[in-house]
Each structure stands twice: as structure tokens, then as C-alpha cells.
Amino acid sequence: MITITGTTGFVGKNLLHYLRNFELRPVSRTDLTILNNDLFKNTETIVHLAGKAHDLKRVSDPQEYYQVNFELTQKLYDAFLKSDAKKFIFISSVKAVADSVDGILTEDVTSAPKTDYGKSKLMAEQYIQSQPLPEGKSYYILRPCMIHGPGNKGNLNLLYQFVKKGIPYPLAGFENKRSFLSVENLCFVIKEIVERDDIASGVYQVADDDALSTNDVVDILSASIHKKARLWKISPGLIRFVARLGSSLHLPLTTERLDKLTESYVVSNEKINYAIGKSMPIGSRIGLEITANSFAGKQ
């Protein structure tokens, strides 16, 4: 049996469907407050998805991140160590390592998260790694990058709405590369870990095989509604000047927002691919096309 927390979230719903041929036990937040021995009865694997997501609007109480992402994980992992379960899969985040990336992010990079979200995830990772691991048990810390797929309401959906209205993308003059992760590829990795006993405990980044530019993403989103991508290559120097003014005058486009829109964030998935011995089943472009078509109502 596979016990899964966080099944009401985006990844959780997809994982329940992906693992539908397995015996599954979804665990609610109420169940997690009790954590008695019966919760893991007959369980082989625990998949811990439940957590407080990164709040881009910055209105959350910082303490909530530590209570949910660290303290809850700590209690759950302690319960796992005392149970008969064999595997513990914790869904962390690349934000536990770095908020910005220079080059390609690998598992060897020294973690230095800046946000409470990233810090709380890192604390949970460190706790798991610091505990003596009994014979016959394994842990897997998975660090996904930006996850997308049908039903996702995140930043890609916002960009899609922008494209749908026919508004030109004005930042096409910036060259960047970003890693994405199809939710199906994440589910594939989890399923491989569940089914196999030859994957070593450890920390693994999870990303699609190829990084894409934001211009590529706009092109894919436009194609989903049979439109030609409207890419405006305005001088990056001019855009940066406008953003600096925006920072001073509190306008929508600020230097910080511009950096987030145009930065590169490339994540290596080499370690997990090597451990599994397989590439991701869905390519980066195909995955984004599936997500874009779901926005356009073509599922």
C-alpha cells in the first residue's frame, strides 16, 4: 500500500490518477494531526506531498511555512522511522537550494535559500538526512522545478491569458532558459521509486530533459489557440530603464519583477535519470503543449 499526503492539491490529484492501479491510502490534514500507528498499517511507501506552497504575493505568515513544511514533515518522518514502511518520498523544491541560478543547478550546489518557503523545505530535508536510517528503509528527497500540467493555475496560466488576449510579449529581447517539469514526469519518477529497490536513498532534482526560453513558451501557448506568437524585441536596456523607474514610482513593472520574468533557471535532472536508467517519458515541448491545450479547452 502507498500512503499519500496532500492528495487534494494539483500534484496529489494527478498522482492518485497515475497510481490508480496501486492500493492507495490518501491522508488528510486531520489524519496528520493524529499520526497514530494505524495510519501506516500495511504501508510499504509514504509519499509526502502536503505542504505550504510558495506565496508569490508575500501575504502569508512566515511561521506557517515552518509549521507545515518543516515541523509536520519532521513528525511524519519520525512516525515513518517507527513504522514498518520501507520508503519515504518527500517532495521538496529546487527553492530549497537557490532562488536564482548562475549556470546549471545540480545537487552539489550549496543550499542558500532566501525565502521562508525555501528555508522551511531545506530544514525538512536536513532533518531527514540527519536521522539514522534503519536497515531496510530508504528515503528520497525530490526537488521539482516549476511543475505544470492540465488543471494547473500557476504562472503559465497567467502567461496564457496574456497571449490569449493578443497582447504582444514585450520582453522577447531578453535571452533566457528555464527548466519546467510536466506533472506526468514527476508522477513517473515517483512510480519508479515505488516499484523498484535499486534506487539509492538521497536527494534528486526533477525536471524535464530540456530547458526552454520564455519566447519558446509564448510560441507554444500561442500555437495552442492557433495564433502566431507576438514577440516584441524591445531593447533590454530600455526595458531595464523603465523597470528602474517603476521601482521608484511603484509601477507594475519593477526591477525585481523584470528579473523574475527574464531570468534563467536551468535545473539538471542528470542524477535522477542516471539512477532510474531512463529519460523522462514526456519531452519539454510536448509537456507544455499538453498544458497549453488544457488551458485552451482541448483536453
Q: How does pLDDT run across 194-211, given as a tens digit for each residue?
A: 999 999 999 999 999 999
Q: What is the mean pLDDT of the chain?
A: 91
Residue 95, CB half-sphere, CA atoms under 13 Å: how many? 18
| Domain spans in the chain, listed from the N-terminal domain onward | 2-144
Q: Is 174 helix (H, G, I), strand (E, B) or coil?
A: coil
Specify the CATH number of the domain 2-144. 3.40.50.720
- Give the pLDDT band (50/70/90) at residue 259: confident
Q: How far from chain centre, in Å, is Cα 179?
A: 10
To 10 degrees, the CA torsion angle through 80, 84, 85, 86? 110
Percentage, residues of the chain above pLDDT 90: 71
In this prediction, residue 60 carries a pLDDT of 62
In this prediction, residue 298 carries a pLDDT of 60
pLDDT higher than threshold 60 for residue 218: yes
Q: How does pLDDT run across 142-188, given as a tens digit for each residue?
A: 999 999 999 887 778 888 888 889 889 999 999 999 999 999 999 99
For the segment 222-247, the average pLDDT, to the nearest whole number, is 92
Q: Is 31 helix (H, G, I), strand (E, B) or coil?
A: helix
pTM of the model: 0.92
Q: How does pLDDT run across 34-46, given as a tens digit for each residue?
A: 777 778 889 999 9
